[in-house]
Amino acid sequence: PVQAAEFVRRETAALRHASAVIATSETTKRLLVADFGVPAEKITVAEPGVDPAERAAGSGGETVELLAVGSLVPRKGYDVLIAALAGLADKPWRLTIVGADDRAPATTAALKEQIAAAGLSERIRLAGALGQPELDATYAKADLFVMPSLFEGYGMVLTEALARGLPILCTTGGAAAETAPDGAALKVPPGDVTALRAGLARLLDDGQERSQRSAAAWQAAGTLPRWRWTATIVADVCARVSP
């Protein structure tokens, strides 16, 4: 808490010197106004873009392939996800977590220990960072996208999952609640093992619900912002504040 308070103090001080602020979501904009004292008129929202992608075909098997994408850092809540899955060992699933494993070495080590202690080493794969072709292939064979983050300023991986028509289970941490449409995503409170386990059990058991949420995700894919739109917004802000 002491370190967190110091970070807020420094960020608030730095933001006072900004001629303009670009936020990645309306949620982050509201946070900047409420907690950091940034005047709303100084803030422009430029949601990150997402590239068009082919719709995921899925695994085609009885075992549900779960996919999570994001660096192995405490904020991503992977320990919560592993704890939730530990109570669902009787169900047919496998989990792949894609993301850099060198950002927080202590977290990576703790996750490996947690997986081993739960007896899930054969069912949970920490894939590390992947190149784009490998990442695309991993998305293509996934059946359900899972994001257990404690907080997201936007949640780019959610839009990447939507772009591939994947059904989603995510938390309501930060902007994640707004980034993924309700029809495409089942949402649970962040940090809640019981709620996450219940959501996983529901979607693992109900292939029809996964299909319905997949259809909603694929429909939403056509409305996602593209990088050209994002770049245009950012460029306009830069042009206004340039001397």
DSSP string for residues in 94-163: EEEEES-SSSSHHHHHHHHHHHHHTT-TTTEEEEE---HHHHHHHHHT-SEEEE--S-BSS-HHHHHHHH
Which two tokens mark 233?
Answer: 């917004």
pLDDT at 10: 98
pLDDT at 98: 98
pLDDT tens, residue by residue, 108-154: 999 999 999 999 999 999 999 999 999 999 999 999 999 999 999 99
pLDDT at 149: 98
Helix residue spans in the chain (DSSP H): 2-15, 26-36, 78-86, 105-117, 132-140, 156-163, 176-179, 193-205, 207-221, 227-241
pLDDT tens, residue by residue, 57-69: 999 999 999 999 9
Q: Which of 232, 23, 47 is nearest to 158 (CA)?
A: 47
User: What percentage of residues in the chain have a pLDDT greater than 90?
Assistant: 99
pLDDT at 25: 97
- Spatial contact of 139 and 67, defined as CB atoms under 8 Å apart: yes
pLDDT at 243: 74
Compute the distance between CA of residue 105 and CA of residue 103 in angstroms, rounded to an integer.
Answer: 6
pTM above 0.85, yes or no: yes
Compute the distance between CA of residue 23 and CA of residue 21 in angstroms, rounded to an integer.
Answer: 6
Is pLDDT above 90 for 242? Answer: no
109 half-sphere exposure, CB direction, 13 A CA radius: 3
pLDDT tens, residue by residue, 157-210: 999 999 999 999 999 999 999 999 999 999 999 999 999 999 999 999 999 999
- Spatial contact of 209 and 184, defined as CB atoms under 8 Å apart: no
The mean pLDDT of 82-100, rounded to a whole number, is 98
